Structure 1
Amino acid sequence: MKVSQILNNNVAIVSRGDNEVIVYAKGLAFRKKVGQVIHENEIEKTYVLDSNDMLEHFSYLLSHSDANHITLINQIIAYGEEKLSEQSNDYLSLTLLDHIEFALKRAAKGQFIRSPLTWEVKKFYPQHFDIGMYALNLINEQFQLTFPEDEAVSIALHFVNLQEDKNNLDETIRSMESLRDILSIIQYHFQIKLDEGSMNYMRLMTHLQYFIQRIMTKNSDEESDTILNEQIKLMYNDSFECVQKIRVYIQQKYACDLTVDEETYLMLHIHRVTNRSQKERT
């Protein structure tokens, strides 16, 4: 592969077929010149990007990055790949590098960002949060810093977005926020704290995750059992009133309404989880 551009002693842009890619290794480009050849066995990491804008952006980033930072990123990603049993892509390496470089600049000024999703990521993505904590411990140790675990959440979200069967990161965050908000509505309505270790709570969580997914994709079952719905309303009026608050929330956030069956199942799950919690309080 012929060198197209030398970015620094460790990074160069090379021609590979009809495309240009970024290659990295410590000392890789030292004493190299444009037009000279870099062999595969000299390269530690190759970054393949699908647009000139991205190539330009990340070329600048890599050319101004400390080689130790890149080594750190490679270490984090290797741990994440093993943890998730999934191969990462080049964008993850580069966006994570971008994130951590900026985080280190913030830390130098004593600026630490609070994450509104700490609870959600811990709860629904424990493996990804573990990766974030692994990264955080490496960063704190290497740079003698004390980043809060909120930073681990931000790093974890990069790995959440990596998985192909997930929607994009914005939708993942929106889904987690909705789950948190609905749980808050339930707890506020009944003035209780739900037992997160109970089986009924786990069932409610599973139902809500699928419920929110259906709402976001507008993929709701058209069939409805109105007779059962009316019976449940009469039996569990408190749960019915709570679901009406959830209905308003869904209408405002997603501009759609609950189906009859969604209303019914929500009432049933809410009754089960709150009835148990209320009994334990008395």
Structure 2
Amino acid sequence: MRINRVLNNNVVVVKEGEEEIIVMGAGIAFGKSKNDIISTDKIEKVFVMKDKNEYEKFTQIIDQLPEVHIAIAEEIITYAEKALKTKLNEHVHVALTDHLSFAIERIKQGFQLKNKLLNEIRVLYSAEYEVGLWALELIEQRLNIRLPEDEAGHIALHLHTAKMNALTMDETMNTTVILNELIEKIEQKLNVKVAEDSISYQRLLTHLNFALRRVAEGQPFDDVDQDMHKLVKEKHRSAYHMATEIGRYLAETHQYDLPPSELVYLTLHIQRIERNKGDEVS
């Protein structure tokens, strides 16, 4: 491979036809310049950024951020693709690298931002969250800086939204914020704080997440037998009333219209929390 552009000692751009390929490796460009040949045994990572804007953003990051931050981010991305068994969107090279560098510098300066959606992220994106925890260990090993667990949640969101065919970061954040609101409303109405590691909490959060996704994507919902609907409504009046209030809030505030069948399922989840709240309080 012949160098078309040196970005830093560890990153170069080569050209194959009209396609620009980013090549990474420790010291791969040391002492080299345009048109020099790079040694294939130094190549650790190769990827293409087809989006011109993303390519320009990435080259800016290479110029502006510490090389060690870029190397750590790329190591996390490589690990994540193996752990999640999926190829991540090229945007992750920009978004995650920029976020990590900012988070590291922020911690150095004594600033720490809480991740209010951490509990929801931990449940909804558990595989990505585990990668986030791994990333915190890596950063500590490389830089002797311990980022808070909140950052594992931020990393998880970046990884989730970088998965092919996933929602955008804005869409993912919006959905997670809404879920956080719904959980808080249910807890307030029941006067209980449900433990995040409880089965009731995880089932409720997962069910609500899938329901919101179905509404957003216009997917059909499973029907509920009318007799079952009537039975649930009569047997669990308080929980059903709460479910309808949640449904009304979603429709009026976020324009999510839950069908009657979902109100039945939501009632059962609320009833389970009510029944088990003595055992599942955090």
Normalising to structure 1: TM-score of the pair?
A: 0.83
Paired residues of 2:26 and 2:42 also in contact (CA < 8 A) = no
Query: Which position in structure 1 is the counterpart of 2:143?
Result: 143
Amino acid aligned to 1:106: R
Q: Deviations over 1:100-156 (max 9, x none)?
A: 222222233222222121111222223322221221122234333342211121112
Which amino acid letter does the alignment assign opposite residue 245 of structure 2?
A: K
Residue 193 of structure 2 is matched in structure 1 by 193
Unaligned residue ranges in structure 1 (runs of 5+): none
Instruction: Indicate if the aligned counterparts of 1:186 and 1:270 stay in contact, CA closer than 8 A.
Output: yes
Q: Quote the Cα distance in structure 2 between the aligned partners of 1:144 and 1:151.
A: 16
Encode CA deviations 1:68-99: one digit per residue, 9 max, x unaligned.
33332343234323432334454434432222
Taking the aligned partners of 1:196 and 1:104, their CA distance within structure 2 comes to: 28
Deviation at 1:196, TM superposition (A): 5.7
| 1:177–1:89 CA distance, 2 compared to 1 (3 A) | closer
The aligned counterpart of 2:110 is: 110
Q: Corresponding residue for 2:255?
A: 255
Check conservation: 1:11, 1:63, Cα contact below 8 A. no
State the shift of 1:31 in Å.
3.3
Rg larger for:
1
Q: How does 1:44-123 map to 2 (within 5 A)?
A: 44-88=44-88, 90-123=90-123
Q: 3-state DSSP class of the match of 1:250?
A: helix
The 3-state SS of whatever aligns with 2:32 is coil
Deviates more, 1:218-227 or 1:162-171: 218-227
- Partner deviation per Cα, 1:142-184 (whole Å, 9 max, x = no partner): 3333422111211122222233353223323333333332222
Q: Which range moved further: 124-133 or 139-148?
A: 139-148
Within 5 Å, which residues of 2 pair with 1:169-184? 169-184=169-184
Could you say if the C-alpha distance between residues 227 and 95 of structure 1 is closer, same or farther in structure 2, counting changes exceeding 3 Å? same
Q: Secondary structure at the match of 2:8?
A: coil
Judge which range, 53-62 or 220-229, deviates more: 220-229
User: After the TM superposition, which residues 205-220 of structure 1 pair with which residues of structure 2 at under 5 Å, given as runs?
Assistant: 205-220=205-220
Distance 1:188-1:12 versus aligned 2 partners, 3 A rule: same
Root-mean-square deviation (Å): 3.0
Equivalents in 2 of 1:119, 1:195: separation in Å?
10
Q: Equivalent residue for 1:269?
A: 269
Q: Which residue of 1 is the match for residue 236 of structure 2?
A: 236
Which residue type is aligned with residue 28 of structure 1? I
Contact 1:185/1:242 (8 A) holds in 2 = no
Q: Evaluate the alpha carbon distance shift between residue 249 and residue 220 of structure 1 in structure 2; reply closer, same or farther with a 3 A threshold.
A: farther
Cα distance in structure 2, aligned partners of 1:196 and 1:152:
16
Q: Which residue of 2 aligns with 1:34?
A: 34
The aligned counterpart of 2:164 is 164
Q: Which amino acid aligns with 2:181?
A: D
- What's the secondary structure of 1:101's corresponding residue? helix
Q: Residue 232 of structure 1 aligns to which amino acid in structure 2?
A: V
When the two structures are aligned, how many residues end up with a matched partner?
Answer: 281
C-alpha contact (below 8 Å) 2:212/2:256 kept by paired residues: no
State the Cα distance separating 1:238 from its structure 2 match: 0.8
Q: CA deviation at 1:221?
A: 3.8
Which residue of structure 1 lines up, in the alignment, with residue 152 of structure 2? 152
Q: Provide the residue aligned with 1:43 in structure 2.
A: 43
Gaps in structure 2 of 5+ consecutive residues: none
SS in 2 for 1:46: strand
